[in-house]
Amino acid sequence: MADSFDQQLDVLRRALDQAGDAIAEVTEEQLSLSTPCPDWDVTQLISHLIQDAERFTLGVQGGEADWTTRPEPVTGDWVADFRSAADELVAAWQDKGSADPPGPIWQAAEIAIHTWDLVRATDQQRELDAGVAEQALAFMSAALTPENRGDAFADEREAPVDAPAYVRLAAFAGREPA
């Protein structure tokens, strides 16, 4: 797992970049498609990604984010909204200059899982950054136990040991990897 602050921030940047690229490929016609996230369609998933970046930024800056609100459907230029929120999150970490554990890596894990969800829901034929998935999986494997999965993560699913990193990450997060 990425240990230093700079390594974690690099993984977060890469996770945000690929999420932005995946969001940019979503068409209006795909917004109502279902996703691997229970009860969310593509529009709610994109909204959640935007909200995550905004909430993470608030937390990095010392504020308290409200994690109980459900994402509202996206409107307007959701690509620009996400990229702006992502830039603000990276800038907040750069301003802070360091992180207490778990730091940016847990945010990268959240973004990585939802990027896989989005790519899968919209049937995008893109290669995701395996290094991001490996780092996210290493963090989640150490931090996420059956007792603290809550409502956000279903029970771990089985994936072949030799499966691609994103398939293993998705299975660990309770997604159906097939």
pTM over 0.85: yes
DSSP 8-state symbol, 51 = H
Residue 100 has pLDDT above 80, yes or no: no
Give the closest residue to 110 by CA, choosing from 63, 38, 50: 50
Q: Are 22 and 115 in contact (CB under 8 A)?
A: yes
Distance between CA atoms of residues 42 and 145, nearest Å: 28
On whether the CB atoms of residues 132 and 166 are closer than 8 A, the answer is: no
Contact between residue 16 and residue 88 where contact means Cβ atoms under 8 Å apart: no
Give the pLDDT score at 164. Answer: 94
Query: Would you place residue 39 in the very low, low, confident or very high pLDDT band (cuts 50, 70, 90)?
Result: confident
- The pLDDT assigned to 42 comes to 95
Does 146 have pLDDT greater than 80? no
The model's confidence at residue 17, banded by pLDDT at 50, 70 and 90, is: very high
pLDDT at 7: 93
pLDDT at 111 over 70: yes
